[in-house]
Structure 1
């Protein structure tokens, strides 16, 4: 499952959906990314705004899920839910969940997904900085380096 949405994420519901995997799943790994009060470039972040082009974003997420299923055969279920729109301080931005037969596959697949989300999914981000207003955020080279380790 993958989708973008403006509505807040219900982490408990998303996690419960993963537990409904087959009885052969011995591991569930989840990651929740949240809005921080600072970033590499700015202190005093009040909120963020994420923009997407839904058909491109969904296609890129689908390709990530397909690659996960090819790389980690023990993976049963994948969830990638990413918010768009205005997201407040400390609110969840993204939920990634993986259920599989073995913990190593779940951990690796979840890490792979996050690295790919940061670099290959078309999302554009602005931060609302205290006293400064909105500013676009550039992609980080460290995210690109993290994604390259998988290839």
Structure 2
């Protein structure tokens, strides 16, 4: 399951949906990304704004999900939910959850998903910086490096 939404993420509900796996599921790994109070340039962030082109974003998320299923056959359920719109300080931005037969598969698949989300899902981000206002944020080279490790 993957989706983009403006509404607040219900982490408990999303996690609960993963627990409804088969009796062969031995591991569930979740990740929640939140809005930090400081930017990469150590500026004070009040909130962020994310926008996307939904058809492109959904296609990219579907491709990530399909690749996870090909790489980790023990994976049972995948949940990727990303917010768009204005998101306040400390609020969840993204939820990634994976259930599988074994913990290694769940950890690796969740890490792969996050690395791929950062580089292949078309989302554009602005930060509302104290005393500066809204500033567009560029992709970080370290995100590309993290994602490339899966291509070796």
- Normalised by the length of structure 1, the TM-score is 0.99
| Counterpart Cα distance in 2 of 1:38 and 1:66 | 34
Task: Report the counterpart of residue 127 of structure 1 in structure 2.
Answer: 127
Give the deviation of 1:30 after TM superposition.
0.1
1:1-150, aligned counterparts within 5 Å?
1-150=1-150
Give the deviation of 1:98 after TM superposition.
0.1
Deviations along 1:89-125, whole A, 9 cap, x unmatched? 0000000000000000000000000000000000000
Structure 1 stretches (4+) deviating beyond 4 angstroms? none
| Counterpart Cα distance in 1 of 2:149 and 2:39 | 24
The answer (yes or no) to whether the contact 1:42–1:129 under 8 Å persists in 2 is no
| Counterpart Cα distance in 2 of 1:29 and 1:4 | 20
Structure 2: runs of 5+ lacking an equivalent: none
| Counterpart Cα distance in 2 of 1:70 and 1:147 | 17
Give the deviation of 1:42 after TM superposition.
4.1
Aligned residues: 151
Comparing 33-42 and 52-61, the one that deviates more: 33-42
- Residue 143 to residue 65, structure 1, CA distance change in 2 (3 Å): same
| Counterpart Cα distance in 1 of 2:39 and 2:116 | 20
Q: CA RMSD in A?
A: 0.5
| Counterpart Cα distance in 1 of 2:41 and 2:134 | 13
Q: Secondary structure at the match of 2:110?
A: helix
The answer (yes or no) to whether the contact 1:5–1:81 under 8 Å persists in 2 is yes
Deviations along 1:38-73, whole A, 9 cap, x unmatched? 121242100000000000000000000000000000
| Counterpart Cα distance in 1 of 2:134 and 2:8 | 21
Structure 1: runs of 5+ lacking an equivalent: none
